[in-house]
Amino acid sequence: MAKLISGKAVSAALRTQIREETAALRENHGIHPGLAVVLVGNDPASQIYVRNKQKACEEVGFRAFEYRLNENSTQEQLLDLIRVLNKDDKVHGILVQLPLPKHIDEQTVILTIAPEKDVDAFHPMNVGRIMIGNYEFLPCTPAGVMELIDSTGVDLNGANCVVVGRSNIVGKPMAMLLLHRNATVTICHSRTRNLAEVCAGADILVSAVGKPHFIRADMIKDGAVVIDVGMNHDENGKLCGDVEFAEVEPKASYITPVPGGVGPMTITMLLKNTLHAAKLMNHLDD
Ligand code: NDP
Q: Would you list the DSSP string of 210-277?
A: --TT-B-GGG--TT-EEEE---EE-TTS-EE-SB-HHHHTTT-SEE--SSSSSHHHHHHHHHHHHHHH
How far is the C-alpha of 16 from the C-alpha of 227, rounded, in Å? 24
User: How buried is 144 (Cβ within 10 angstroms: 0-12 exposed, 13-18 middle, 19+ buried)?
Assistant: buried
pLDDT for 285 equals: 73
Atom of ligand 1 nearest to the CA of 241: 32
- Find the distance separating the first CA and the last CA of the chain, reported in whole Å: 39
How far is the C-alpha of 204 from the C-alpha of 266, rounded, in Å? 20
Pocket test for ligand 1, best of 52, 146, 194, 229 (most atoms within 8 A of CB): 229
Is the Cβ–Cβ distance between 219 and 195 less than 8 Å?
A: yes
At 99-116, the pLDDT tens digits run 999 999 999 999 999 999
Do residues 159 and 234 share a domain? yes
How far is the C-alpha of 254 from the C-alpha of 263, rounded, in Å? 17
Whether ligand 1 lies within 6 angstroms of the CB of 134 is answered as: no
Single out the residue of 121, 39, 32 nearest to residue 81, CA to CA: 39
Do residues 180 and 87 share a domain? no
Domain housing 248: 140-263
Q: Residue 1: is its pLDDT beyond 90?
A: no
At 150-194, the pLDDT tens digits run 999 999 999 999 999 999 999 999 999 999 999 999 999 999 999
Span from the CA of 250 to the centroid of ligand 1 (angstroms): 24
Residue 62 belongs to some domain of the structure = yes
Residue 13 belongs to some domain of the structure = no
Whether ligand 1 lies within 6 angstroms of the CB of 194 is answered as: no
Residue 257 belongs to some domain of the structure = yes
Single out the residue of 93, 82, 83, 88 nearest to residue 36, CA to CA: 93
Counted domains in the chain: 2
Considering 55, 77, 80, 97, which one is annotated as catalytic? 97
Do residues 194 and 257 share a domain? yes
DSSP label at residue 116: G
Whether ligand 1 lies within 6 angstroms of the CB of 262 is answered as: yes
Q: What percent of the chain has pLDDT over 70?
A: 100
CATH number of the domain bearing residue 202: 3.40.50.720
In three-state secondary structure terms, 115 is helix
Across the range 7-12, mean pLDDT stands at 98
Atom of ligand 1 nearest to the CA of 210: 32
Whether ligand 1 lies within 6 angstroms of the CB of 190 is answered as: yes
pLDDT for 286 equals: 67
Do residues 256 and 181 share a domain? yes
Do residues 233 and 144 share a domain? yes
Do residues 148 and 220 share a domain? yes
Residues 6+ apart with CB under 8 A from 86: 94, 112, 113, 114, 117
The residue from 74, 99, 114 where one domain ends is 114
Span from the CA of 279 to the centroid of ligand 1 (angstroms): 33
Residue 134 belongs to some domain of the structure = no
Do residues 145 and 99 share a domain? no
Do residues 41 and 152 share a domain? no
Across the range 258-285, mean pLDDT stands at 96
Q: What percent of the chain has pLDDT over 90?
A: 99
Q: How confident is the model at residue 42 (pLDDT cuts 50, 70, 90)?
A: very high
Considering 117, 118, 120, 228, which one is annotated as catalytic? 120
222: annotated active-site residue: no
CATH number of the domain bearing residue 77: 3.40.50.10860
At 69-89, the pLDDT tens digits run 999 999 999 999 999 999 999
120: annotated active-site residue: yes
Do residues 101 and 145 share a domain? no
Do residues 156 and 230 share a domain? yes
Pocket test for ligand 1, best of 164, 209, 243, 256 (most atoms within 8 A of CB): 209
Whether ligand 1 lies within 6 angstroms of the CB of 54 is answered as: no
Do residues 249 and 171 share a domain? yes
38-73: b (≥16 Cβ within 10 Å) or e: bbbbebeebeebbeebbebbeebbbbbbebebeeeb
Q: Residue 93: is its pLDDT beyond 90?
A: yes
At 111-150, the pLDDT tens digits run 999 999 999 999 999 999 999 999 999 999 999 999 999 9
Residue 121 C-beta-side C-alpha neighbours within 13 Å: 31
